[in-house]
Amino acid sequence: MRFDDEPITPGDPLPILPGHHSAGRFERLLRAGVFAITAELSPPDSANAEDVYARARIFDGYVDGINATDGSGANCHMSSAGVCALLTRVGYAPVMQISCRDRNRIAIQGDVLGAAAMGVNNLLCLTGDGVAVGDHPAAKPVFDLDAIALLGIVRTMREQARFASGRVLTTPPQVFLGSAANPFAPPFDFQVARLAKKARAGAEFVQTQYCFDVPLLERFMRQARDEGLAERLFILVGIGPLASARAAEWMRSHVPGVHIPDAVVDRLRRARGKGAAKAEGKRICIDILERVREIPGVCGVHFMAYRQEEAVAEIIDRSRALDGRIPWYPGRDARFAPASDSPTELQQEAWA
Amino acid sequence: MRVVRYWSVSHAGAMQRVYRALDRLFIRIDPLLRVVGYQRLEAPFAAVERVLKGWFFDCRMCGHCVLQSTGMSCPMNCPKQLRNGPCGGVRADGTCELDPGMRCVWVEAVRGAARLPGGERIEVIQVPLDHRLAGQSAWLAELRQRAAA
Ligand code: SF4
């Protein structure tokens, strides 16, 4: 999809449309009703910008937004602000994750302003994993705010141009606000109430935890629709390929909040032979993608394919989740540069 | 103690009635409290509160009590001190992501709220905690506010 008001320099913002909050492509696509795809970029343990670009390029032409994680799993990596600064320079649409684990309200609000100034249009407000699960268990957990309080604060910054203290901002951050949801963990009946709280606090989109259990998601979505949340929020379902039965076992016992039904693990276990489990993992992911896409109220999917980033393109191709659309990436439009003044057929197809 | 804490949640309704009764009593003796001076009452109130609420709820004296909105399960026992609902890491058996020996305080809160008249208050959005209040009597602060109103 190509917008007719595309900026000439890729890093420049798009005009903010009426009723929109941000200058970003991601919000535009969702509001236009396009099935959107985002993916998580695993941040490098290095101070090299090229490492970030190399990881982003893997998704070129396949995703509408790139999540920059903020010390996910309480492990130390390049900061989400740093990754976003690099990504926005060349025009990518990052979703900057902000976790409440490591910073208090003073630091976080400062980061929100800095991020918006760098051209970050999407923020994902998270509580964050506890330090005990990560590589620095001796660190001091901050948790000055929780995700819901954080949403409220950023919305106040955006809409009332004020810090939480009441002090006035001269230019408010124009950001599209998101948060996470976990339909797959107890207390199940409260998960929708929690989602409603997030919507009331200011969330406009949510990305869910990994979905390996479609019936549970269906139940959650039904409740969300009954509460009118499906109209208020753009819901993207978290998915990702599993590499093997062992990886699945490890994940469900070590990664907080991940629920993988035995049936899925068994399916992986039955795949024998070199590469068979991996292929089966992709097939499971495609199945899930196709099924969640049919659920009313699901607006897109969010890939978390740690160490399997290369598989994302294949999964998207095989499931035809993009319907032939080519999401923007640096150089996309140059690749289809018209020889004459009128767009070529290929170009028209890509922009459609 | 966790056992007592779980018991209090199971008896959230009764706990709330005791709470309300105390509340009414204090409001009635507000003139007396004023004579003594709220400032002077801070230390003894905080001491009693620490012991009583500590016993029943494992209260951490955050100074801004939300027990009535959390089914009588004190959210400050959450290792992340979440006051607006559970994190995404609750284990399948309802125990805490960070402490498998403890029931998630929010799983408990949902259980308690179901037993509480006005349990829907669990849906109220709690503002970020004012960390200056730590150690102060939440009772007294609330009474003062209520008596002034
Ligand atoms: S599982 Fe429950 S108690 Fe543990 S950190 Fe999460 S919300 Fe807090």
Domain that holds residue A343: 25-351
The alpha helices in A90-164, defined as continuous H runs, are 105-117, 147-160
- Counting every residue written for chain A, the total comes to 352
The H or E element that residue A83 is part of is: helix A80-89
Output the residue whose Cα is nearest ligand 1's atom 6.
B87
Is A17 domain-assigned? no
Please give the residue that has the higher pLDDT: either A227 or B142.
A227
Predicted complex ipTM:
0.93
CA gap A179, A151 in Å, rounded: 8
The answer for residues whose C-beta is within 8 angstroms of residue A103's C-beta and 6 or more apart is A111, A142, A144
The first and second tokens of residue A108, run together, are: 């976080």
| CB neighbour burial string for A225-254, b if at least 16 within 10 angstroms, e if fewer | eeeebbeebbbbbbbbbbbbbebbeebbee
In this structure, what are the phi and psi dihedrals at residue B103, rounded to the nearest 5 degrees? -70, 140
Q: Give the integer Cα–Cα distance in Å for A96 and A116.
A: 10
In this prediction, residue A343 carries a pLDDT of 61
Whether residue B122 and residue A148 make contact (CB cut-off 8 A), yes or no, is no
Domain of residue B67, residue span: 2-148
A98 alpha-carbon distance from chain centroid:
12
As given in the structure block, the two tokens for residue A286 are: 């495609």
How far away is chain A from the Cα of B34, in angstroms, using its nearest Cα?
31
CA distance A143 to A145: 5
Q: Which residues 182-201 of A have a C-beta within 8 angstroms of B?
A: 182, 185-187, 189-190, 193-194, 196-197, 200-201
Which chain A positions have a beta carbon within 8 Å of B129's beta carbon?
144
Q: How much is the average pLDDT of A65-82? A: 96
pLDDT digits (tens, 9 = 90+) for A187-243: 998 999 999 999 999 999 999 999 999 999 999 999 999 999 999 999 999 999 999
**Cβ count within 10 A of residue A48:** 10
Average pLDDT, chain A: 94
d(CA A245, CA A271): 9
Residue A265 is classified by DSSP as H
Residue A320 pLDDT: 95
Provide the H-helix boundaries in chain B: 2-10, 12-28, 30-36, 38-57, 105-113, 138-148
The residues pairing with A125 across neighbouring beta strands, listed in sequence order, are A98, A179
For residue B90 and ligand 1, the question of a CB distance below 6 A is answered with yes
Calculate what percentage of chain A has a pLDDT beyond 70.
Answer: 95
Nearest-atom index, ligand 1, CA of B81? 8
Q: Are A181 and A147 in contact (CB under 8 A)?
A: no
- Domain total in chain A: 1
**φ and ψ at residue A145, rounded to 5 degrees:** -120, 165
pLDDT at A217: 98
* pLDDT attached to residue A6: 78
CATH of the domain at A302: 3.20.20.220
Report chain B residues whose CB lies below 8 A from the CB of A157. Answer: none
Least confident of A52-56, A204-208, A246-250, A253-257: A253-257
Does the structure show a pLDDT above 80 at B2? yes
Query: Which of B80, B86, B123 lies nearest to residue A130, judging by beta carbons?
Result: B80
- Establish if B122 touches chain A: CB-CB under 8 angstroms: yes
Q: What is the pLDDT of residue A335?
A: 67
Cα A146 from Cα B80, distance rounded (Å): 8
User: What is the value of pTM for the model shown?
Assistant: 0.93
The CA distance from A306 to A289, in Å, is 17
Alpha-carbon span B129 to B139, nearest angstrom = 16
For residue A293, tell me if it sits in a domain: yes
Residue with tokens 């902000």: A98
Number of domains in chain B: 1
Q: What is the pLDDT of residues A325-337, one digit of tens each?
A: 999 999 888 766 5
More confident residue, A334 or B118: B118
Per-residue pLDDT at A155: 98
Each residue of A105-134: pLDDT tens digit?
Answer: 999 999 999 999 999 999 999 999 999 999
Q: Say what the pLDDT of residue A349 is.
A: 66
Ranking A61-75, A334-348, B12-26 by mean pLDDT, the lowest is: A334-348
Whether A190 and B104 lie within 8 Å, measured CB to CB: no
What residues have CB less than 8 Å from A110, skipping those under 6 apart?
A: none
Q: Is residue A5 part of a domain?
A: no
Kindly state whether residue A14 falls inside one of the protein's structural domains: no
Quote the DSSP letter at residue A305: -
pLDDT digits (tens, 9 = 90+) for A6-27: 777 776 788 999 999 999 999 9
Contact predicate B93/B47, CB 8 Å: no
Q: Output the CA torsion sign for A110, A171, A115, A156.
A: positive
Task: Check CB contact under 8 Å for B90 and A180.
Answer: no
What is the predicted pLDDT for the residue at A199? 98
Residue A9 lies in a domain: no
Whether residue A19 lies inside any domain: the answer is no
